[in-house]
A and B are shown apart, each in its own frame.
Chain A
Amino acid sequence: GENVEQHPSTLSVQEGDSAVIKCTYSDSASNYFPWYKQELGKGPQLIIDIRSNVGEKKDQRIAVTLNKTAKHFSLHITETQPEDSAVYFCAASRPSARQLTFGSGTQLTVLP
C-alpha cells in the first residue's frame, strides 16, 4: 500500500520568514495530494491540494509543488504569521481508492 513520509517533524521559524515542509510517497499511481492544518483540539482543515497533472499551485501565501518523477511534494508558506502555528499534514491518494494516507505531521511554530 501507499506510504507517505513527512519531514521535518518540528519546524520553528521567525515571523515573516518562509516555512517549507516536504513529503515523499511510494505509490506511483497516487494522483491527489492534499495538505491539512490541524490546530490543537480541532479537526484537520484542508488548506491546499494538488493533482498530478500540475506541478505547482498557489493560494496567497501558500503554495504546493509536486515532482512526480521523484515522488515528492512540498508545502511552502511565505511571510509566516503566529496564527500559522499548527500541525501540518500531507496526504496522498490514488484514483482507485479514495482513502487518504497521511504523513506523520509537522509541528510548525512561528515565533513573534
Chain B
Amino acid sequence: NAGVMQNPRHLVRRRGQEARLRCSPMKGHSHVYWYRQLPEEGLKFMVYLQKENIIDESGMPKERFSAEFPKEGPSILRIQQVVRGDSAAYFCASSPDSLNEQFFGPGTRLTVL
C-alpha cells in the first residue's frame, strides 16, 4: 500500500513566480492536511480538505495561498507571487474517515530565490 505521495520533492522559484505543490493521499483516505515547516521549527497547520471541500483553512495566509482537493486527482497547494519568506518544507498528510491518525508524505522543499 503506497504511502502519501508528494511532488515535486524540491522546487525552486524566483520571487513573484507561482508554486504548485501536489499531494496524493494514501489509498482509501479522503482527508488531506497541509502543514508548513520552517527551518529548525515544528510543523504548522495550514489547511484541511476533503474531496471538493475545504473544511478548515484557519492556518493558511489569506493572500496568495490557496488549496484544493478535486473529485479526481491530487490535492494542490498553490502559492502565487512567492516571496523569500515562503521558503520552507511543505508537508501533506492524509487520514481515513473515522480515525485521527495522520500519515505524512516526504514533503516538498520550496526555495524562493
Q: Given that A44-B91, A89-B43, A104-B42 are known contacts, is A99 also in contact with B106, CB under 8 Å in the complex?
A: no
- Contact string against A for B residues 77-113, beta-carbon threshold 8 Å, 1 for contact and 0 otherwise: 0000000000000010001000011111111000000
Whole-angstrom distance between the alpha carbons of A97 and B31 in the complex? 12
- Contact string against A for B residues 1-35, beta-carbon threshold 8 Å, 1 for contact and 0 otherwise: 00010100000000000000000000000010101
Whole-angstrom distance between the alpha carbons of A36 and B47 in the complex? 19
User: Chain B contacts of A102 at CB under 8 A?
Assistant: 35, 42-44
A46 at the interface (CB under 8 A from B): yes
Q: Do the beta carbons of B104 and A45 come within 8 Å of each other?
A: yes
Q: Which residue of B has the minimal Cβ distance to A94?
A: B100
Q: Which residue of A has the minimal Cβ distance to B59?
A: A99
Q: Is the interface of B mostly helix, strand, loop or mixed?
A: strand
A43 at the interface (CB under 8 A from B): yes
Pick the most buried of A44, A46, A102: most chain B CB atoms within 10 A of its CB.
A44
A80 at the interface (CB under 8 A from B): no
Residues of B within 8 A of A (CB): 4, 6, 31, 33, 35, 41-45, 48, 55-56, 58-59, 91, 95, 100-107
Please give me the 10 A-B residue pairs with the lowest Cβ-Cβ distance, nearest first.
A43-B104, A102-B42, A99-B45, A32-B100, A43-B106, A102-B43, A44-B104, A104-B42, A43-B107, A105-B42
Residues of A within 8 A of B (CB): 6, 32, 34, 36, 42-46, 49, 89, 93, 97-105
21 A-B pairs within 8 Å (CB atoms) are namely A32-B100, A34-B101, A43-B91, A43-B104, A43-B105, A43-B107, A45-B104, A46-B102, A93-B100, A98-B55, A98-B95, A98-B102, A99-B56, A99-B58, A100-B35, A100-B45, A101-B45, A102-B43, A102-B44, A103-B42, A104-B41
